[in-house]
Structure 1
C-alpha cells in the first residue's frame, strides 16, 4: 500500500497524513508497515516451529 492510498480518503495531503500518522504512532507509515510485516513473519515462524517440533 502506498502512502497516497490512505491519505486520499482522509482528505489529507500525503505530507499532512505522514505528519499525523507519525504523531500518533511515533513511526512513519513505512516503518509501521515494516514493523507489522516483521511481527507477522515472526508469528508464522513461531507457529511453524511448533508444528515442526511436533512432527519430529
Structure 2
C-alpha cells in the first residue's frame, strides 16, 4: 500500500518538474510575483533554456 503511494508521489513530483521546465518564460516570470524562488533563473540575454553555464550553451546568441 505504502509503495504505491510513494511511487505515485514520486511520479507526480517528476511530472510537475518536467512541466515546469517547459513552461513559457513569461508564465514563470508571473510566478515570481507569487514567490521569488519560482521566477526564472535565466541570465540576461539568455533564451531561457535552463542550461545556462552548461557545455551546450553557445558563447554568443545566434540571430
TM-score tier (shorter): 0.3 to 0.5
- TM-score by length of structure 1 reads 0.43
- TM-score by length of structure 2 reads 0.38
Q: Please identify the structure whose Cα radius of gyration is greater.
A: 1
By percentage of residues, which structure has more helix?
A: 1
